[in-house]
C-alpha cells in the first residue's frame, strides 16, 4: 500500500492510497482503520454511486445488491436518480455510521463501479445533495464542486479498478489528524 499526495488545484488536495488488495487481510484491515479514522460512529455519510461493478462475479453482485438495498432501506436512504438499465444507473444514499458500517463499505466497494463517500457539513442536507446531483449530473472531478462549496471537508473516492482510493480534501483541511501516514 502506497500513499501519494497531489494537488488538484490551489484549493483542493488529493491523497492517493494505491496498490492495495481487499482480498488481502492486511490491506483490508488498513483500509478499515482509515475508514474508522475518517468516519466516526454516529456520523451521517452521504454516497454517490455509478453503475454495477463489472469485475465482480454475477452471483456475488446479486447477493450484494439485495444486502445493500436491505441495509439502506432499514438504516438509511437510497435513491436512484437516473437509470439506463439494471446495471447502469446513477444513485445516491445516506446512512448513519454504526459498528457494522465499516464492513458494509466493502460491500459497496465490491458492488458499485464508482463510489464516493463523505460526511456532509452540518448545513448541507440530503435534499440539498439530491439537488446538487440533479444540477451537476455526476460531473464533479475529484468532488471539486462539493469541496469548493464547503459542503464537506473531504471525500473518499473509489479509484478505477478498485485497488486504490482517493481522498479529496480542501487544501486547508488537515488529514493527518485522522490518518497517520
pLDDT at 115: 92
Contact between 69 and 78 under an 8 Å Cβ cutoff? The reply is yes
8 Å CB contact between 108 and 68:
yes
Helical ranges in 12-154 per DSSP H: 25-38, 58-75, 101-111, 126-136, 144-148
Tell how far CA 50 is from the center of its chain: 11
Q: Where are the domains of the chain?
A: 2-177
Nearest to 116 by CA among 19, 14, 1: 14
Lay out the sheet containing 12-18: strands in order across. Answer: 2-9, 12-18, 165-170, 152-158, 112-120, 44-52, 89-96, 76-83
pLDDT of residue 54: 78
Q: What share of the chain is helix, strand, coil (3-state, %, to 5)?
A: 35, 35, 30
Residues 4-56: tens digit of each pLDDT: 888 888 999 999 988 888 888 898 899 999 999 999 999 999 999 988 777 77
Show the cell assigned to 148.
469548493
Q: What does the pLDDT look like over 131-168, one tens digit per residue?
A: 998 888 767 777 889 999 999 999 999 877 677 899 99
* pTM for this prediction: 0.91
Amino acid at each position: 500500500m502506497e500513499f501519494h499526495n497531489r494537488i488538484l488545484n490551489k484549493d483542493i488536495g488529493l491523497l492517493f492510497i494505491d496498490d492495495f488488495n481487499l482480498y488481502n487481510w492486511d490491506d483490508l484491515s488498513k483500509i478499515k482503520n482509515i475508514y474508522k479514522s475518517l468516519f466516526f460512529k454516529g456520523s451521517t455519510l452521504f454516497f454517490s454511486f455509478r453503475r454495477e461493478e463489472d469485475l465482480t462475479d454475477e452471483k456475488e453482485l446479486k447477493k450484494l445488491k439485495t444486502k445493500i438495498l436491505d441495509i439502506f432501506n432499514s438504516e438509511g436512504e437510497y435513491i436512484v436518480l437516473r437509470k439506463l438499465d439494471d446495471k447502469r444507473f446513477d444513485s445516491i444514499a445516506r446512512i448513519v455510521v454504526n459498528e457494522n458500517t465499516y464492513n458494509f463499505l466493502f460491500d459497496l466497494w465490491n458492488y458499485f463501479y464508482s463510489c464516493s463517500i463523505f460526511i456532509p457539513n452540518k448545513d448541507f442536507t440530503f435534499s440539498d445533495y439530491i439537488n446538487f446531483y440533479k444540477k451537476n449530473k455526476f460531473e464533479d472531478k475529484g468532488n471539486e464542486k462539493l469541496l469548493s462549496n464547503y459542503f464537506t471537508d473531504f471525500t473518499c473516492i473509489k479509484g478505477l479498478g478498485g485497488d486504490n482510493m482517493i481522498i479529496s480534501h480542501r487544501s486547508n483541511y488537515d488529514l493527518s489528524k485522522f490518518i497517520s501516514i
